[in-house]
Amino acid sequence: MSKTPKKKPEQTPKTEAVSKLDPSGLQLGHDVAWPTSPELAKLDRVPNPQGDTNYVVRFTAPEFTSLCPVTGQPDFAHLMIDFVPGQWLLESKSLKLYIASFRNHGAFHEDCTVSIGKRIAAEIKPKWLRIGGYWYPRGGIPIDVFWQTGKVPKGLWIPEQGVAPYRGRG
């Protein structure tokens, strides 16, 4: 067996557009460990190239999971995050890692939903943000949680979140 270290395969060159962002501080394009808690997760932001235009960005996380802080049983939700960017956009890989950090985190539905909205708002300082947490039933009762930062910018169309209320089998 050879004792010389193997060379790492050459990486493909970054595109010009990405290199202009200086991704060195971002998780995007890098191997990163899954964060073990929401407090340890890093949310990345990137400059908004359309900062002079009001528009809506939507992230959908249909398989969000966390743990009940009392029983330790898993809770499941469909999250919808809508925001009107200001100077910054939320980088989606960092959002994915942040959302995944809740898998072993014990918190009530309301706390998870509102905490995610507040954390994103603090990081990217959007003109407006709302989050809808559509939680699947626990104990036979579905819980839907909604939070937003303020009023929608004037003249902007905000689509419905489109998540049907829980109906069971009926």
Active-site residue list:
68, 75
Show the beta-strand stretches assigned E in the chain.
45-47, 57-67, 74-84, 88-90, 128-135, 144-148
User: Which H or E run includes 136?
Assistant: none
CA distances 18 to 24, 39, 115, Å, are 10, 28, 30
Place of tokens 């460990």: 33
**Run of H or E residues at 142:** none
Q: Give residue 10's Cα distance to chain centre.
A: 31
